């Protein structure tokens, strides 16, 4: 994946010679990635306050997160394809600019509808950042060395994902800030990332002559969006078994089937179907999708569990996520270093799959009576498993494809991971809302049952008997959510077991691409 035209006068890409050069080159990428990922979860602890201030419902609670994930997911393949046509450096800066605009608008939102539209703008920018950052890394760093940097990047991604609730909680509990700064805080850091990229990131000058299959891109975006909208609304706005379900699912599947047909005939498809013929890529895609479902679906609702199930403040709920943060940070970084040192990676992937399943299963046992120390241990296990899996799945896929397919492969895996996350938040959120609504109606006579739209309660104004019931209902529903997510995580483990270990290459993506072009006579 490259930036200008190929030809006999194109200089060979220069491999970065030491760790200082590499870290300097990717410093802006890491800052941009952290801020973009943070946006997905920083609102988790702030949401009860946001929804209360803007008069939202439990179903809207999910939508504030889902819309950002949806926009990010749907645009990732397009960003990856544009990396074949335009300057990757300029594209990353443009995506950061879009993200900064969305963050600014979200911070001044006068109502819930405006906030949701702003989150879409944030998601489009975040899609570009998450897709292009890994493409650029693969272009300038050989797979054998990429492990240690992928570990750092995975740690940045994971910490941004799970530290968001803590940062959001502190902001909400700081009287002179308030929840709007959960969005506004990203603006200066995003602008700093744009400036840092301008100064530190210098990319080789190679480019494939390709076009964008706009019809295929439109069909993919529309089809995925239709299915995600269905998974968000089913069980809330309408029943799972209903005419709306039949219509939306049929439309979504039909659009994606048409997208596959168009992509199979396109000269330069957005998602080349040929990469799925590679078993490593196919299994990495499946594993990433289910890891995304487990990670996003699990972490987002833990914040609500601590605040409502245990009556804690946003800051306290955020602090309780630290075991998950540290588990992910340590496992991702250490595994990356060991993979680069020894060149072996499958043991870490399999271990990650096993530990993730175990962590999810243990979290399915939590209740209002469960010791917070014990919950912390379960969360740490969950974090360790995710840290071993997430970025290393991208690494092994990048290692096993031709350099010309690096961008498509990377963006496809990122796409399915985000897709899994969006489905996890929307579908599991719908299940949670429906379970809470029905349980409250059963235990508190007179509670309205409007398909999961029960307003998020303010525990401070509830009488003690009612408060205890509400806490128990939210705790039980959250444990039920992890019970559903455990077999989902097990699918990721099965996919990892089916990946064959292969030696890590010692050339960067741009070096490999130059060699491939030379061998083909271009």
Of the residues 238, 267, 296, the one at which a domain ends? 267
Are 385 and 261 found together in one domain? no
Structural domain includes residue 10: no
In terms of domains, do 166 and 285 share one? yes
**Residue finishing a domain among 242, 267, 292:** 267
Phi, psi of 372 (to 5 degrees): -65, -30
Percent above pLDDT 90 for the chain:
11
Taking 90 as the threshold, does the pLDDT of residue 311 lie above it? no
pLDDT at res. 381 = 92
Q: Do 148 and 229 lie in a common domain? A: no
| CB-based contacts of 460, cutoff 8 Å, min separation 6 | none
Higher pLDDT, 144 or 110: 110
Domain co-membership, 415 together with 468:
yes
Does a structural domain hold residue 8?
no
239 lies in which domain range? 213-267
H helix and E strand count, the chain = 18, 0
Structure tokens given for 179: 């929840």
Of the pLDDT bands very low, low, confident and very high (cuts 50, 70, 90), residue 158 is low
**Is 1 domain-assigned?**
no
130 in any annotated domain: yes
Alpha helix (H) residue ranges in 343-448 = 346-363, 372-399, 406-443
pLDDT of 1 reads 38
**Most distant CA atoms of the chain, gap in Å:** 78
The pLDDT tens digits of the residues spanning 161-185 come to: 667 777 877 888 877 888 888 888 8
Both 96 and 171 in one domain: the answer is yes
Residue 3: inside a domain: no
Q: What is the pLDDT of residue 309?
A: 79
Between 14 and 69, the higher pLDDT residue: 69
- CATH number (domain holding residue 55): 1.20.1250.20
* CB burial string 402-435: b at 16+ within 10 A, e below: ebbbbbbbbbbbbbbbbbbbbbbbbbbbbbbbbb
| Same structural domain, 90 and 222 | no
Same domain, 217 and 207: no
Report the Cα 65 to chain-centroid distance in Å: 11
Residue where a domain terminates, one of 247, 267, 287: 267
Same domain, 507 and 481: yes
Residues 101 and 244 in one domain: no
97 shares a domain with 87: yes
Indicate whether 429 belongs to any domain: yes
Q: Does residue 28 belong to any structural domain of this protein?
A: yes
For the cut 80, the answer to whether the pLDDT of residue 514 exceeds it is: no
Indicate if 277 and 358 belong to the same structural domain: yes
pTM of the predicted protein model: 0.74
Question: Residue 2: inside a domain, yes or no?
Answer: no
Distance CA 304, CA 479 (A): 12
Token pair of 376, please?
A: 């912390």
| Domains of the chain: total | 2
Is the pLDDT at 458 greater than 50? The verdict is yes
Q: Are residues 233 and 256 in the same domain?
A: yes
């Amino acid at each position: 994946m490259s930036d200008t035209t190929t030809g006999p006068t194109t200089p060979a890409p220069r491999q970065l010679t030491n760790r200082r050069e590499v870290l300097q080159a990717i410093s802006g990428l890491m800052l941009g990635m952290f801020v973009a990922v943070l946006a997905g979860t920083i609102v988790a602890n702030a949401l009860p306050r946001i929804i209360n201030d803007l008069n939202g419902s439990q179903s809207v609670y999910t939508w504030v997160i889902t819309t950002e994930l949806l926009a990010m997911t749907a645009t990732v393949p397009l960003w990856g394809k544009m990396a074949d046509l335009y300057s990757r450096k300029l594209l990353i800066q443009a995506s950061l600019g879009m993200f900064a605009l969305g963050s600014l608008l979200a911070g001044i939102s006068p109502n819930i509808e405006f906030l949701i539209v702003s989150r879409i703008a944030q998601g489009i920018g975040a899609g570009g950042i998450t897709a292009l950052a890994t493409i650029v890394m693969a272009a300038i760093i050989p797979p054998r060395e990429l492990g240690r940097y992928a570990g750092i990047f995975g740690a940045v991604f994971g910490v941004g994902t799970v530290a968001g609730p803590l940062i959001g909680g502190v902001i909400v509990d700081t009287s002179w800030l308030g929840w709007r700064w959960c969005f506004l805080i990203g603006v200066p850091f995003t602008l700093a990332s744009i400036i840092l990229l301008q100064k530190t990131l210098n990319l080789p000058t190679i480019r494939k002559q390709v076009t964008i299959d706009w019809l295929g891109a439109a069909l993919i975006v529309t089809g995925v969006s239709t299915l995600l909208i269905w998974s968000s609304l089913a069980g809330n706005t309408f029943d799972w078994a209903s005419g709306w379900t039949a219509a939306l699912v049929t439309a979504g599947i039909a659009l994606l089937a048409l997208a596959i047909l168009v992509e199979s005939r396109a000269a330069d498809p957005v998602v080349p179907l040929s990469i799925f013929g590679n078993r490593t890529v196919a299994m990495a895609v499946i594993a990433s999708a289910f890891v995304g479902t487990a990670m996003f679906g699990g972490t987002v609702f833990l914040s609500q569990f601590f605040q409502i199930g245990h009556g804690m403040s946003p800051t306290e709920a955020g602090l309780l996520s630290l075991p998950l943060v540290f588990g992910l940070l340590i496992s991702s970084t250490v595994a990356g270093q060991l993979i680069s040192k020894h060149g072996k990676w499958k043991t870490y992937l399999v271990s990650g799959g096993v530990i993730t399943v175990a962590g999810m299963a243990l979290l399915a046992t939590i209740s209002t009576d469960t010791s917070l120390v014990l919950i912390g241990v379960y969360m740490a296990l969950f974090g360790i498993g995710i840290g071993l899996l997430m970025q290393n799945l991208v690494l092994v896929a990048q290692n096993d494809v031709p350099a010309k397919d690096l961008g498509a492969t990377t963006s496809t895996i990122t796409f399915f991971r985000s897709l899994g996350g969006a489905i996890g938040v929307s579908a599991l959120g719908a299940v949670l809302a429906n379970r809470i609504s029905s349980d409250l109606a059963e235990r508190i006579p007179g509670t309205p049952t409007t398909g999961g739209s029960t307003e998020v309660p303010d525990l401070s104004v509830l009488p003690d008997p009612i408060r205890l019931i509400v806490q128990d209902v939210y705790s039980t529903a959250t444990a039920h959510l992890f019970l559903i997510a455990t077999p989902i995580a097990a699918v990721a483990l099965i996919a990892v077991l089916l990946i064959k270990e292969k030696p890590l290459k010692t050339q960067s993506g741009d070096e490999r691409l130059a060699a491939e072009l030379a061998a083909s006579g271009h």
